[in-house]
Structure 1
Amino acid sequence: MSSELFDAIHYLEKEKGIDKDVLMEALEAALISAYKKNFKSATNVRVDLDENTGGMHVYAQKTIVEEVLDPQQEISLDEAKQINPNYEEEDVIEVEVTPKDFGRIAAQAAKQVVTQRVREAERGVIFSEYVDREEDVMTGIIQRKDARFTYVNLGKVEARLPVSEQMPTEEYHVHDRLKVFVTKVENTNKGPHIYVSRTHPGLLKRLFEMEVPEIYDGIVEINSVAREAGDRSKISVYAPDPEIDPVGSCVGQRGQRVQAIVNELKGEKIDIVQWSEDPVVFVSNALSPAKVLEVRVDEEEKATTVIVPDHQLSLAIGKRGQNARLAAKLTGWKIDIKSESEALEDGTLDPSQTSDEDTYSEIDEDPFE
């Protein structure tokens, strides 16, 4: 065993980030396996590697007996006392059994085992590096596609973007650069498997953290996110300091901050609303851009009845119910929307609470559509 081997181990530790002790342990296990295989030994053996000299020694554990019946596992008391007079019967002694040509045999037998352990150690290093990136955003390059996944190169590993986590409004091409949300990191026999998403609400949250310094610094907090990926999302924000405008911070000057996120999500519309612990205020805000006349709350059912001006009904509900659906997800409250006329007819609304038509602009379509 030459010193070049130890030089190689130090190189692997430096270049691959693999702990030297892991490699030494793998090498020792491989040499023990090689000894037992090539010399048909069932004896417990230990391999001692001398890093300074590059030497290798194999020691067999033998039990001291009066009469030797199995030379591979036993040694006579007389022979043992020649090594150390203090040995007694039934003691276990280590005897060097290093064969003269063991270096060549061991090198051949150990190569495959060591390679495997090095590969496993590398996988462990990669897993340790990426497991801490769960629920984080990473940028990668699309490498290839098949019927189940789009594969995204994240640097040291290829992540899997399932079809179910792909935005219906996007097309994915090889060599495209893409921001993805890491949903799960698994350590398998074939190495780390990393799963990513473009539809997860966490992607929207992380993008706001990256784009809005006030959120990153904790001055503005994200309370909840509701998302129908590729189409529309709502996000509620809050600032503990009443002097801070949380919505304005997220929108940015001339809408630059939110527009950067919209561009990353290929045109997905985003409503930013202010969170409130008062469900009346929060639900009203969540139904933006619709104007709300009144919100009635049923605490036990965690349900609300929302009354809106007649001309705001379609805006409040949204196309295919999307605005109301997202508002319910955002707030965690059930939302039943009624028009002003319907509420008057069934007695839900007092005539004195009716809206002044001049108060609301005549908008019957979402301005963001």
Structure 2
Amino acid sequence: MNNELMDALSDLEREKGIDKEVLFQAIESALISAYRRNFGSAQNVRVQINRQTGATEVFAQKTVVPRVEDHRLEVSVDEARDINPVAAEGDVVEFEITPKNFGRIAAQTAKQVIVQRIREAERGMIYDEYSGREGDIVTGMVQRVERGLVFIDLGRTEAILMPSEQVPGEMLRPNERVKLYVVEVKKTTKGPQVYLSRSHPGLIRRLFELEVPEIHDGIVEIRGVAREAGARTKIAVWAEDPNVDPVGACVGAKGQRVQAIVNELKGEKLDIIAWDPDPAVFVSNALSPAHVTEVEIEEESRSARVIVPDNQLSLGIGKEGQNARLAAKLTGWRVDLKSESQVGRGGFWS
């Protein structure tokens, strides 16, 4: 093994954190296979690399026996004692059998092992980096779209945005930079695979943490997120300090903070709701932008009966029931919505 390879091993230990001794052992193991492959030997062999010079030696290992039946695996006591004067029956004695051109084979094998170990180390580092970021947000560049799959370049690795994790109607184009939620990181035979999402409610939570310092610092707390990706999201926020306006903090001056998030979501509507420990108040807030007249809570069935002015009923229900549906998902209460005139005629209150 030449000096360049010895230097390469030192560089790998320093830059990639791969223990040089581990590399030496891996190369020695690979060289045993290379020897048998190139020289067709059925002998038991051991390969040794000098840790200082890189010189490679091959040794045949033979068992000392009183009568030799297989010269490839066995050696007589007398012949063994030429190598080791105290050799006895049952001992294993080594004979150097390094071929003349084995240095070239050793160098080629070492390069292959080094390349493989670099790849394994890089895969390991990528897995460690991104497995620790499950549930976090990353920024990537759209690389290509193939058969519904969107491949995202994260810099050190390529990630996948599955069709089920895409926002309905959202068109992502090559070279476009987007923020995504890390759903899962798996180990595969081809290395770590990172799975991303644009539709996960966690993306909303992380975007607000990035955009609103009060959330990042824990002054304002996100108590819940209900999302229908691409259409509308409701997020409930709360502040323990009564002097802090949690909704105002999320909206920002002239709506700049929430607008930045809406832009990232390409126009998805965002309702920022004030969370309240009183379920009636929370349900009323969650039905925003509709104005609520009255809320009656039934603890046993976890139902909230809600009255709204006649002109607010369609707004409270929302397009195809979306507003009421998201309010129920956000609060955890089943929402029964009626107008004042419906209640006056009996409705579900009779």
- When normalised by structure 1's length, the TM-score is 0.86
One-letter amino acid matched to 2:73: Q
Cα RMSD of the aligned pairs, angstroms, is 2.4
Supply the distance in 2 between the matched residues of 1:98 and 1:71 (Cα, whole angstroms). Answer: 17
Supply the distance in 2 between the matched residues of 1:347 and 1:197 (Cα, whole angstroms). Answer: 43
1:53-79 CA distance string (max 9 Å, x none)? 121222343322112222222222233
Match of 1:354 in 2: none
SS in 2 for 1:151: strand
Deviation at 1:15, TM superposition (A): 5.3
Deviation at 1:98, TM superposition (A): 2.3
Match of 2:70 in 1: 70
Deviation at 1:296, TM superposition (A): 2.5
Deviation at 1:164, TM superposition (A): 3.0
SS in 1 for 2:311: helix
Whether the 8 Å contact between 1:22 and 1:121 is mirrored in structure 2 is no
Supply the distance in 2 between the matched residues of 1:283 and 1:327 (Cα, whole angstroms). Answer: 7
Counterpart mapping for 1:75-154 below 5 A: 75-108=75-108, 111-112=111-112, 114-154=114-154
Deviation at 1:347, TM superposition (A): 6.7
Deviation at 1:110, TM superposition (A): 5.4
Whether the 8 Å contact between 2:165 and 2:200 is mirrored in structure 1 is yes
Supply the distance in 2 between the matched residues of 1:102 and 1:295 (Cα, whole angstroms). Answer: 86
SS in 1 for 2:296: strand
Match of 1:333 in 2: 333
Whether the 8 Å contact between 2:2 and 2:107 is mirrored in structure 1 is no
Match of 2:286 in 1: 286
Match of 1:361 in 2: none
Query: Alpha carbons of 1:312 and 1:78: their partners in 2 closer, same or farther (altered >3 Å)?
Result: same
SS in 1 for 2:242: coil
Whether the 8 Å contact between 1:23 and 1:118 is mirrored in structure 2 is no
SS in 2 for 1:63: strand
Supply the distance in 1 between the matched residues of 2:301 and 2:20 (Cα, whole angstroms). Answer: 61
One-letter amino acid matched to 2:313: L
1:32-59 CA distance string (max 9 Å, x none)? 1101222333344332222311212223
Supply the distance in 2 between the matched residues of 1:323 and 1:292 (Cα, whole angstroms). Answer: 13
Number of residue pairs matched by the alignment: 350
SS in 2 for 1:103: helix
One-letter amino acid matched to 2:8: A
Deviation at 1:179, TM superposition (A): 1.2
Match of 2:222 in 1: 222
Whether the 8 Å contact between 1:13 and 1:19 is mirrored in structure 2 is yes
One-letter amino acid matched to 1:311: N
Whether the 8 Å contact between 1:61 and 1:73 is mirrored in structure 2 is yes
Match of 2:194 in 1: 194
One-letter amino acid matched to 2:237: V
Match of 1:362 in 2: none
Between 1:11-20 and 1:227-236, the stretch displaced more is 11-20
One-letter amino acid matched to 2:100: K
- When normalised by structure 2's length, the TM-score is 0.90
Supply the distance in 1 between the matched residues of 2:25 and 2:340 (Cα, whole angstroms). Answer: 77
Supply the distance in 1 between the matched residues of 2:253 and 2:269 (Cα, whole angstroms). Answer: 18
Match of 2:32 in 1: 32
SS in 2 for 1:261: helix
1:222-243 CA distance string (max 9 Å, x none)? 1211111222101111223333
Are 2:232 and 1:232 equivalent residues in the alignment? yes
Deviation at 1:169, TM superposition (A): 4.2
Deviation at 1:284, TM superposition (A): 1.5
Query: Alpha carbons of 1:286 and 1:61: their partners in 2 closer, same or farther (altered >3 Å)?
Result: farther
Query: Alpha carbons of 1:31 and 1:251: their partners in 2 closer, same or farther (altered >3 Å)?
Result: same
Counterpart mapping for 1:301-316 below 5 A: 301-316=301-316
Match of 1:165 in 2: 165
Deviation at 1:202, TM superposition (A): 1.0
Are 2:49 and 1:49 equivalent residues in the alignment? yes
One-letter amino acid matched to 2:149: F
One-letter amino acid matched to 1:56: T
Whether the 8 Å contact between 1:34 and 1:110 is mirrored in structure 2 is no
Query: Alpha carbons of 1:53 and 1:111: their partners in 2 closer, same or farther (altered >3 Å)?
Result: closer
Supply the distance in 2 between the matched residues of 1:17 and 1:167 (Cα, whole angstroms). Answer: 40
Whether the 8 Å contact between 1:187 and 1:193 is mirrored in structure 2 is yes
Deviation at 1:106, TM superposition (A): 3.2
- Unaligned segments of structure 2, at least 5 residues: none
Supply the distance in 2 between the matched residues of 1:333 and 1:94 (Cα, whole angstroms). Answer: 79
Between 1:215-224 and 1:125-134, the stretch displaced more is 125-134
Counterpart mapping for 1:242-253 below 5 A: 242-253=242-253
